[in-house]
Structure 1
Amino acid sequence: MSEKFSTVEQHASYGVGRQMGEQLKANSFEGIDIAAVQAGLADAFDGKDSAVSMQDMQIAFTEISQRLQKAQEEAAAAASAEGEAFLADNAKRDGVFTTESGLQYEIITEGNGAKPTYNDTVRTHYHGTFINGDVFDSSVVRDQPAEFPVSGVIAGWTEALQLMPAGSKWKLYVPQHLAYGERGAGASIPPYSALVFEVELLDIL
């Protein structure tokens, strides 16, 4: 690498290309042609006429956008169905309670403290996973309890916390409509994901 790109200008130029490539990879589509990307970049930089007409580019952009939207809808439908099937089976297990909203919980440890209200702030330890067991967030792993208002979290948490006496540790099974729903949460939680949390209510602040 150092022999191919040896000057400061080459290093900076490669860095620009690397950053553009990382951004493109994060927002790519199936069948992308890197050689065509490089040709378009070079032609634009050199001020050359476009090798593809604006009309053809617009048609292509529209078709690719429709493909991406269809793929996202199919993935969302699959995630929703998978979550519903998981929760339906989970509800049959001994020790799992289901509320009217569809929230499911399992009592690991029952505390004897007060129950938080909607307007309270709490300190908790939690471990969040997808239904396949993959971890997406965990204060336990960070070894740092989290503090937040009861009203400032996902609906499933807001409901559960108000049922939990301080000192309790529950396992929550949260349907997508009580979690992040059709929006998901950034790149970490896809739309329509059912989520599982172990939540320990340490204190009401």
Structure 2
Amino acid sequence: MAQKKFLNKVYDVETRDEVETLYDAWADSYDAELVENGYATPGRVARAMAKTGCKEPVLDLGCGTGLSAEAMRAEGFQTIDGTDLSAGMLDAARAKGVYRKLWVTDPDAPLPDGYATIAAVGVVSPGAGGPELLYAMAGALSRGGRLAFSFNDHALADPAYTGHLNELLDTGAFRLLHAEKGDHIPEIGLNSTVYILEKT
């Protein structure tokens, strides 16, 4: 099936331009392909956010077409802003009307502050965002702010990703509120661990 080519390619892209090009091309069929393959992480992250008492406003980093915001809204979150490298993905997200604000990410600029929660659903991963995104998110939060994110199997197998997470925890900069392994994209046999961290 033609749509499968995007899901099969996503973990092979490496440069920022490759990521942007792939996601722009994928925008029209992204939701259908991910739903068809059982994409579970948005719902899992949103439920973990609600369970641990994450506050608004929420910044949905790497928001894509808005699947993550739809899941957050289903859990009662209302004030959600989104940003993404792909203008094509943002066009699809804008059509859903689930965000307060949307903008194209400037990867060379610091993340905006003022958010109670920064979510990165399926974003901090090979084929999307590098492990340094954890530090960028951490730096944009004030004390008591929350990070809500996931590591899929590819990220969990890469010591750069787990090392960045462990450093945030081991230095005492953040405390772990929630960690739960489960389905990511079950139809292709991929799992993820969902994390909620609080800045101390």
TM over 0.5: no
Say which one has the larger Rg: 1
- When the two structures are superposed, what TM-score results if normalisation uses the length of structure 2? 0.24
